[in-house]
Amino acid sequence: MKKYLLIAILSLTAFLPINAQKFSVAYVDMQYILKNLPQYETANEQLNMISKRWQKDIDAAQNEVKVLTANYQTEQIFLSEDMQQRREEEILAKEQEVLELKRKYFGQDGEWYKKREALLKPIQDEIYNAIQDIANEKGYDVVKDRSSEPSLIYMSGKLDISDQVLQKLGAK
């Protein structure tokens, strides 16, 4: 009996009008926007230059470890136990220095992360403000990033406001 009552209630509610909230959606392609912003390319070039310089420092320190290790291995049989221990400690200290250098430059709170934040955050804020201005002007309730929507198969070109964002930012 309860089963029939539940089916009857569900059947009746299926025909009731549903007041679906309608909202307007627009999309942006952040990769496209960033690729077409000269200031973003400049910031990326600066980051790459800094990264390469820091990587050279790390590589030089790693080469020192290799040289120390190779020298130790060839001289080990001629060294006293005390000298062997000092050399091993020296190698370990140098390896620790390399790890610390990596952490300092490229770690989670490293210099590269801080520099990236300092260079790119203002650009991202500028883009966000431009998107927000366009959304307010055009009455969009939601603006999604098309490049981060893996399930998006098709999107009408009318919904893409990427060029409008670039125009608002003064990019060509």
Query: How far apart (Å, rounded) are the C-alpha atoms in residues 76 and 136?
Result: 73
Mean pLDDT of 90-97: 96
pLDDT of 36 over the 50 cut: yes
H-run or E-run covering 27: strand 25-28
pLDDT tens digits, one per residue of 42-72: 999 999 999 999 999 999 999 999 999 999 8
Domain count, the chain: 1
Residue 52 lies in a domain: yes
Nearest to 160 by CA among 38, 31, 37: 31
Query: How far apart (Å, rounded) are the C-alpha atoms in residues 71 and 51?
Result: 30
Residue 147 lies in a domain: yes
Residue 5 lies in a domain: no
Residue 8 lies in a domain: no
pLDDT of 122 over the 90 cut: yes
Give the pTM.
0.67
Residue 7 lies in a domain: no
Mean pLDDT of 120-128: 93
How large is the angle between the packed helices 111-138 and 162-169, nearest 10 degrees? 110
Residue 1 lies in a domain: no
How large is the angle between the packed helices 111-138 and 81-106, nearest 10 degrees? 10
- At position 100, the amino acid (one-letter code) is E
Nearest to 3 by CA among 46, 133, 11: 11
Percent of the chain past pLDDT 90, that is, above it, reads 53
Cβ atoms of residues 166 and 126 within 8 Å: no
- Quick one: 30 exposed, middle or buried, by C-beta within 10 A (0-12, 13-18, 19+)? middle
Nearest to 127 by CA among 145, 149, 113: 145
H-run or E-run covering 169: helix 162-169
Residue 138: which domain range? 14-169
